[in-house]
């Protein structure tokens, strides 16, 4: 299977963001990618809650959801939109991944479980829970003989989620993100490689990158990682673009057989 990770620099204009994502998705499909993943907040990055909610719609009315469904159908690819901001009720939204099948139908929805409520520095504080409702369910989906485990950005710091996915048979873990520059420089690749190594899984991590219209700066450096922890494709920077890799899910079974760590996990308690 050829897979692709799209790197974006989404802004505040939904139409412009859709056009930018479309161009890169088409390019990746043109190179034979049958599974294509985009970053977190593909269709809008807007720090102002007032302006954000003025632009948001419920999923059934969301311009991005309809647009990407039609694109997946046209290209005949499995398309994971890393996330869209979807209106749930007045002043509340979901940070939601949508997986589209080759016919444009939605195969899976995943709402971000772990919300980014952190103080990165004296100048940079984030409180996702002020706007977004957290998801309550881990989600897997089947594509082309492979099983996916879905997650978003800050989820990557919570290893048990990925352990559960692997135990459920997931061979590919998706981590679309909009990592801050400080946390990205310090932790992005290390965390992603750890999740791949711990579970013996492929990890596909498409990212936002660069300085955005709303003033935030994201890290970029999108990655595709193999089940032995090796980086097999990478964007070395924050510029928009895409990467592809040919993967074989049989490599997952081989990695898990070489180091059967799950069989070496006795029950214990803290005393």
**DSSP alpha helices (H): ranges in 130-180?**
159-167
Q: Choose the catalytic residue: 22, 40, 59, 167.
A: 40
Q: Which one of the listed residues 128, 147, 153, 181 is annotated catalytic?
A: 153
Q: Residue 209 to residues 179, 237, 238, 241, 250: CA-CA distances in angstroms?
A: 8, 8, 4, 10, 32
Given the structure tokens 């099948």, which residue do they identify?
A: 101
C-alpha of 71 from chain center: 18
- State the pairing for strand pair 78-89/35-37: parallel
Catalytic residue among 59, 112, 189, 198: 112
Distance of alpha carbon 264 from alpha carbon 255, whole angstroms: 15
Active site residue 185: no
How far, in Å, CA of 125 to CA of 115, rounded?
Answer: 13
Active-site residue 230, yes or no? no
Alpha-carbon dihedral 191, 193, 194, 196, rounded to 10 degrees: 130
Active site (annotated) includes residue 234: no
Cβ–Cβ under 8 Å, residues 218 and 208: yes
Length of the chain: 271
- The per-residue b/e assignment along 229-238, b for 16 or more CB within 10 angstroms, e otherwise, is beebbbbeeb
Structure tokens given for 67: 């647009």
Q: Which residues are catalytic?
A: 40, 112, 153
């Amino acid at each position: 299977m050829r897979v692709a990770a799209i790197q974006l620099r989404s802004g505040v204009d939904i139409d412009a963001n859709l056009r930018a994502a479309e161009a890169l998705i088409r390019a990746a499909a043109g190179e034979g990618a049958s599974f294509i993943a985009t970053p977190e907040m593909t269709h809008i990055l807007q720090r102002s809650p007032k302006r954000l909610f003025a632009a948001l719609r419920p999923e059934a009315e969301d311009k991005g959801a309809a647009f990407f469904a039609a694109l997946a159908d046209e290209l005949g690819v499995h398309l994971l939109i890393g996330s869209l901001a979807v209106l749930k009720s007045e002043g509340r939204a979901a940070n939601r991944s949508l997986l589209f099948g080759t016919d444009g139908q939605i195969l899976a929805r995943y709402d971000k479980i772990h919300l980014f409520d952190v103080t990165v520095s004296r100048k940079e504080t984030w409180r996702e829970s002020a706007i977004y409702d957290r998801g309550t369910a881990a989600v897997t989906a089947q594509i082309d003989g492979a099983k996916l485990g879905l997650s978003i950005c800050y989820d990557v710091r919570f290893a048990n989620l990925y352990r559960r996915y692997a135990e459920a048979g997931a061979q590919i873990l998706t981590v679309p993100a909009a990592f801050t520059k400080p946390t990205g420089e310090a932790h992005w690749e290390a965390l992603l490689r750890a999740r791949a190594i711990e579970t013996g899984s492929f990890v596909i991590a498409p990212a936002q990158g660069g300085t955005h219209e709303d003033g935030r700066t994201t890290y970029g450096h999108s990655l595709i990682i193999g089940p032995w922890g090796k980086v097999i494709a990478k964007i070395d920077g924050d510029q928009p673009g895409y990467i592809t890799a040919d993967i074989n899910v049989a490599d997952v079974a081989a990695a898990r057989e070489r180091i059967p760590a799950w069989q070496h996990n006795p029950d214990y308690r803290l005393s």
